[in-house]
Structures are given as structure tokens and as C-alpha cells.
Amino acid sequence: MLFSCAAAAQTTNGTVHYKETISFEMPKLEGEAAQFAAMMPKEQKLEHVLYFNPDATMFQPEAKKDADVPPAKTSGIVIRMDSPQEKFYTNVKDGQSIAQREFFGRNFS
């Protein structure tokens, strides 16, 4: 007897998109501090992407154009909250990881 068998392959590479919302709670303030707090954004939305294959993974912020994220503008003051630019690379076979972080406009690994 001869049997023909098709193996079901499992996906071992791809992309996963993550969305994160960070809410900010300001304490009860009075006077000018309360007016300033009212201008501050109440939340920040971050998007990240994970690329993976059998050998390695890369986790990093989703690439966005500056036009996609308009800054909050009130009374001539522009408030812009940039997400941290952190990238994490992992070599799965070797078990080694590298983290790259932006700090005051400079990249550190």
C-alpha cells in the first residue's frame, strides 16, 4: 500500500503589529498649573511592529510620517509627545539580544 500524505506547514516568519494606549492622569491642580494641565494630552497612542523568522526577531516602533501625528496646539504653545525610539533585536539561534535606545537625540546600543 502506498499512502500520500501532505504535511501542514506552520508559519515561522511574519509580522505582528501592536497598538498601545497610555492614559495620563493629572492630579487636581489650581490656578495657572490647572490651565497648563488642561492643555496637556490625556493619552498617547503607540504602535510597534515585531518582525520574526526562525533565526531572529526585531521589535521596533511602527514607522510613521510626521504628518500622521499632528502636535497638540493651544494658545500658541505646541505640545508634542514623541514615543521612545527603542529597537530590540534577538538572534534566536545564538540566544543573544541587542537593544538600541535613543536618548537626547543619540542612539545607544
Predicted confidence (pLDDT) per residue in 42-86, tens digit: 888 889 999 999 999 999 998 876 545 555 555 566 666 566 678
The answer to whether residue 63 sits within a structural domain is: yes
| Class of residue 32 by CB neighbours under 10 A (exposed 0-12, middle 13-18, buried 19+) | exposed
CA distance linking residue 85 with residue 26, whole number of Å: 25
CA distance linking residue 80 with residue 11, whole number of Å: 39
Q: Which domain holds residue 63?
A: 14-108
Number of domains the chain is built from: 1
The answer to whether residue 53 sits within a structural domain is: yes
* Percentage above 70 pLDDT, the chain: 68
CA distance linking residue 82 with residue 66, whole number of Å: 10
In this structure, are residues 61 and 48 in contact, taking their beta carbons and an 8 Å threshold? Answer: yes
Cell numbers standing for residue 40: 496637556
